[in-house]
A and B are shown apart, each in its own frame.
Chain A
């Protein structure tokens, strides 16, 4: 049965393509907040994720720490975020530093200057996207879901749009559901739902709506058993994708019997 399911879902789907690169797994994993790096490595392995995010920070000159990249297999695409950037210029600087490491040109633009809600600054994100896409970076901008900014980002050369589901790290799920749905309907490049996804059911919901992928970090990293949840997220993401491809029937307000309404035993 499972092999039938597998063959059905894989033959019905096409890989996710971002900047010419194909991905079978639509679950992206963030690498922050893991209590230990072995949990991270196991989460990557069990989820089968093909894209993970990392951040760039000053080296702690007093302590020699293991580098996170040692726990990420070579076949996994590194997506460096620009966290810490408060302006477009700071995001551009971080992107160029990341590129200098030789770890690729995949950049998740994240420009935040509000420390209470950690909401992305869409305007600065657009500026950074314009500059970096022109320099040949593969730019995945993280934004508040807004149709106009999404259209401008497409024009600027963004590879995907990453709308937030709810506040970063809040585990609240898809509070912006209707706005994300608009982006899914209207934007032709991949939509990757990022931030706030706190349970596999949220990931499945995003994928059922037609999102192309989801990115999860906090929920997995802060779970009691991160690798188990990473695998559950990956399965839910896949299940949501299969459901979307199956062309889910519409939701109705009234009952609609599942069993035939004729041939009852008491009929005369």
Chain B
């Protein structure tokens, strides 16, 4: 789903791909709304009402397994764990996801997420 189910004719793909990594398209450049609610709506269109029956979802954040009762967007996860999202960098399953895309990305079972930021260092 993340890799371009919704495409737009003549759309300009703003890829944030690094060499050797999977492409993730910035939905904002595809002129799609970019909210968690829209992500759920999209899930509903794709997977039907069963997508809301998920009882729990296990994902690994910064090396620790965590369980969530509902489907969440990347942005919701960041907001839940980080005081501010302005200095947070997210890497999902080895691919860097830039902030503007966080609302479009729905976290799924088994995902591995790294949330990093700047600290003091020499």
Contacts and interface: CB of A to CB of B under 8 A. Distances in A.
A78 B119 CA distance: 12
B25 to A, nearest CB: 16
A33 B121 CA distance: 7
A97 interface: yes
A59 interface: yes
Interface string A206-222: 00000000010110010
A31 B122 contact: yes
B122 A32 contact: yes
B91 A54 contact: no
B89 A32 contact: no
A78 B120 CA distance: 11
B8 interface: no
B122 A218 contact: yes
Interface string B50-75: 00000000000111100000000000
Of residues A53, A81, A97, A217, which shows the largest number of chain B Cβ atoms within 10 Å of its Cβ? A97
B96 interface: yes
Contact of A97 (B62, B63, B96, B121): B96
Interface residues of B, number: 26
Contacts, number: 96
B89 A101 contact: yes
A53 B121 contact: yes
A215 B122 contact: yes
A64 interface: yes
Nearest to A40: B120
Contacts of B88: 59, 101
Interface stretch (B26-34, B38-46, B79-87, B103-111): B79-87
B116 interface: yes
Contacts of A65: 83
B64 A55 contact: no
Given A96-B96, A97-B96, A100-B89, A69 B121 contact: no
A58 B87 contact: no
B120 A34 contact: yes
Contacts of A58: 62-63, 114-116
B2 interface: no
Contacts of B62: 58-59, 61
Contacts of B84: 67
A83 B121 contact: yes
A17 interface: no
Interface in A31-77: 31-34, 40, 53-59, 61, 64-65, 67-69
Given A53-B121, A58-B116, A67-B86, 12 more contacts: A31-B122, A54-B121, A56-B89, A56-B121, A59-B116, A61-B81, A67-B87, A83-B121, A97-B91, A101-B88, A101-B89, A218-B122
Per CB-CB distance, the 5 closest pairs between chain A and chain B, nearest first, are A55-B121, A30-B122, A217-B122, A64-B83, A31-B120
Interface of B: 16, 18, 61-64, 81-84, 86-89, 91, 96, 98, 114-122
6 contacts: A33-B122, A56-B117, A57-B119, A61-B62, A96-B96, A97-B91
